[in-house]
Structures are given as C-alpha cells and as structure tokens.
Amino acid sequence: MDIDAPMSMAPLAGTAKTGATILCCNCGAPIDGTASAGALCYDCKLTEDGSIKSTVDISKGIPRDGVLNFCRDCDRWLSPPTTWVTAAPESRELLSLCLKRLRNLGKVRITDARFVWTEPHSRRIRVKITVQDSVSEGVLMQQSFEVVYVVASQQCRECAKSYTANTWRAVVQVRQKVQHKRTFLFLEQLILKHQAHRDTINIKEERDGIDFFFAQKNQADAFISFLKSVVPVNIRDSRHLISSDTHTGNKSYKFTYSVEIVPICREDLVALPLKLAKSIGNISPLVLCHRIGTSLNLLDPNTLQTADVNSDIFWRAPFHPLAGTPDLVEFIVMDIESTGIRKGKWLLSEATIARASDLGVNDKTYFVRTHLGNLLYPGDSVLGYLLDGGNFNSATFDAIEASRAYGSTIPDAVLVKKFYPNRRKNRKRVWKLKRMAKDDGDLLPKASDQEKMEADYETFLRDVEEDEELRAALALYKNTKKTKPQDADAMSIADTEMTGEDAGPRINMDELLDDFDELDIQDGEEVAAA
C-alpha cells in the first residue's frame, strides 16, 4: 500500500461503536463513563447479596445533632420561630418537632423514625431515622442513622411575663349572688373535667366568686364560650388602655369580663312572674329548680309539668328564688299513696307529712303532693319548704296569692329530696373529687366562713352521692389514701351505724376513675401484679 495514497475517515463497515471509557474510582477497572453514576463499577456498587455498599452516603448533609428548647414552668417545647407547643415525652408531637428541626431532611424519603431510650436526667433525646433515596437508575438505597438532641431550658414569653408587673392581659370575673358556694363547686368540677383552665396564669378566689387571669384575650374568649355552654350567664366587658404609640397608632389594652351566673341554684323554690309562667307553657308559677344547665330546668311538683327558662329570657326580666337550701325543713312521712302518674324518674304521689320538730309536741300534719313517690315510704325523712304560715318578702309571691287562678293552689309544703338522718357527717368515702389550685387573695377567710365553706362542700358531696345525673357530669376518682387502723370495737360500731336502710346511697366502684397523679412506685407494682 502506498503511504502517500489518500485515506478515507469514514468508519469501516461492521465496526461497533464504543463509548467513553473511564476507570472506577475505587478499584481502577475500566467502565463506561456514560452509563456509570458516581464513577463506580458494578462490583463496587453492589455486594454479593445485592445491597449497596457503604461507599454511598445518602444522609450526607443531614445534621447528627440538634437543640430542643424546653420551658420548665409550663412544660412546653419551642416550635420555631415563636410557637410553644405541648408534647408528652416520646409522643408523636415531640417526634414531629424533632424531625422539623433537621435540615435537608426533605431531600430524602423517611421510612421510619423512632425514639431511642436514654436516661431521663441526661437531658438528651435520641431519635433513630431511616431514610431512602435513589443512587442510580433503578437502584434504591436505605440507610439508618441516629440524631442526638440536647434539651436546653428556655423560658417562654408567657412564663417570663408572669414574673413581671404586667402578668395578665385579660381577666374573667365569675360571680353569683347567693349565700352558698354549691354552684361554684359544680362549675369547678366541670372546668377540671374539660381542662378549661389550662391557659390560666392565675386563679384567685373572691368573696362572691372566682377570678381567672389569662395572658391573651383569645384565651379568655374561649373560656367564656365554655361557661356559656354549661351555665346560664350574663356577660359584660370593658377594657383599660395601658399604652399607646403615637407614631404607629398601636395601642395596648387590658380586658375585663364580668360573668354573672343566674342567682338561682338547684333545689331552690322559685316564684315565677305570672306573665312569664304563661309564656313558657302555662306552668304553675310556684316551681322547683331541679337542674341547672344552659338554661333553668323547672318542675311543678303538683303536676310533674316541666319548663325551661334560657339565659336570654331570664336576664330580660330577672327574678330571685323564693327560698333556698338553708331554708329546708325536715319532715317525717306519715303516709304516702301513689297516683299512678309517672314522668321519667318522678312518680306523682299524695303524702301526709309532719314536721320532725313537732313530733311529741303537737299532732299537726300537712297533706301535700310530691314528685318523690318512688323514693319515699312511711317513716322516711324528707327535706322541704314550709309555706304554711311563712312570711316571704316577695312581690311576685304576693301576686300569686292574690291571683284567682293560682291563689288557692299554693300548697302547705313543697318536698325537695329524701333525707338520711343516720348518715355520719365525717365518714370515710371511697371516692374523691379534685380541686383547683386557687389563690386565696388578700382577704383570708374567717373561722366562721371556713366552717361554712366546709359545710357547703359536704352538702355538695352528698348531692353527688344521691343524684346519678349530677354524678354522670363529673369526674370521680378512687380515694387511694390509706386510713389508719382502728380498734375492732370502733370498727364494729362504725359498721353498725352505716348498715341501716337510712345510711345513705353509695357510689359503685365501677363509676370511679384511677387518679394517676397520686400513684407511687409501690402502687404501680401492685397494679402490674394484679
């Protein structure tokens, strides 16, 4: 072949095209550079079982440590930038907060995340995270790693504000103008059951009610909405200017809400205005209040007719009870006969009663109709209001007496509830109620006021034992306090006193809840062994 002869640059027929060849960065084997990602050969990418070697790190860029800010005063965690959230240890909320604090975690797919146990006092939280990502075409890699978070203490804005002079932004003043605290005791249990006081920064007890202090206005508005849903109230609000900025026009206020509960309580005797009695179903104007809810539930004990008075109707023309619980008189049932008329749990009956203080003195008896026919038997004690010979300072009751339609229907007495005279006052109960932590305020109660408060609380506990509907609305807990052992003779006397028929109703243990706040280590071991 002549060297000077021209040569064609076209590829020879039948010659295969080859790609660019490079060397593997791990072992130096020649590979196709156009099809190999990461400059690795097939043997270096995969092991014998087909899993990807540790030379590829898909979690690169994800930090292995972090910081979680925790407020010791309110037990809340900081969710940047300014939100504080409540999360229990090793909860889903806390795990979500931990994952949000990691950068570059959105570039991979999270398949699993769980807590790793650490010492509680170590102030460390360990989270094991499993991620998945594609390393080459058709090849997925899964990798697990641990992240250690340091729990740093930081005071939230609300708790820091509580230590300054401007501790609250809104206050809700709950008041009721009555002689006892039974309504507030019932309201306290509803608040505890529904955790409506969780946003309060302080609770102060006043002479006629309770003050609830809040750090934000919207928290006070939520609390007022709860009060509207459980009791009939009248709300008035006002605001006080704290500071203002003349340049921007921004102003800071303190808000005060006055919440007045209706002055009528459960088991009160009510004299309705004649016009109101006709407008709510033509009920008799002399009725009993048998329940307090979002409205007043009234009952006519002579006919078992019921009626409701909502908050708007009541505050349009307010009225006061004719007699309350302190005016109750003890009667003895001499004879009782059913009329056969029943409505729900009530049975209309006709009874002959005598005042307990008149026994052995005179033979005066009263003939009344009562709604307690299914509870009373001859010889039982019952509490009621004595109207015969009573002097009531009420213009509404005077109008009822002067009325042609209702003047002749006024009974001599109105029976309210069964009474258990043999019940011991300070007997040990197997159940208990929780109480709110309140500040007594500037005025400490006197000794007489303290005795009255204890008597009101004892009366409320007896109402809870006797009324199943009232008990269903509350949260009752088992009393786990261990009592001191007594003598055998003393125990036998106590058992004898409580084994009679008039010993009082008992609460079934199945209705009680376990109080985990007072559960110690030994109790926990006993429960686990059981």
Model pLDDT for residues 223-258, shown as the tens digit of each residue? 999 999 999 999 999 999 988 888 888 888 999 999
Contacts 24+ apart (CB under 8 A), 306-311: 306/343, 307/280, 307/281, 307/283, 308/280, 309/276, 309/280, 310/232, 311/228, 311/232, 311/233, 311/234, 311/262
Residue 331: what pLDDT?
A: 94
Average pLDDT, the chain: 81
With pLDDT > 70 as the criterion, what percentage of the chain qualifies? 79
What's the one-letter identity of residue 527?
V
CA angle, 199 as apex, 198 and 204 as ends, to 5°?
85
- Rounded to an integer, the average pLDDT of 498-518 is 60
Model pLDDT for residues 291-302, shown as the tens digit of each residue? 888 899 999 999
pTM equals 0.67
Model pLDDT for residues 308-327, shown as the tens digit of each residue? 999 999 999 899 999 988 88
Residue 465: what pLDDT?
A: 85
Note whether 424 and 500 are within 8 A (CB): no
Model pLDDT for residues 314-368, shown as the tens digit of each residue? 999 899 999 988 889 999 999 999 998 999 889 999 999 999 988 888 888 999 9
Model pLDDT for residues 230-239, shown as the tens digit of each residue? 999 999 999 9
Residue 492 pLDDT exceeds 80: no
- Rounded to an integer, the average pLDDT of 375-399 is 90
Q: How confident is the model at residue 482 (pLDDT cuts 50, 70, 90)?
A: low
Point out the least confidently predicted range of 394-408, 417-431, 488-502: 488-502
Answer with the residue of higher pLDDT: 14 or 143: 143
Please give the C-alpha separations between residue 439 and each of 205, 212, 296, in angstroms, as whole numbers.
6, 10, 31
Model pLDDT for residues 42-57, shown as the tens digit of each residue? 666 654 444 455 567 7
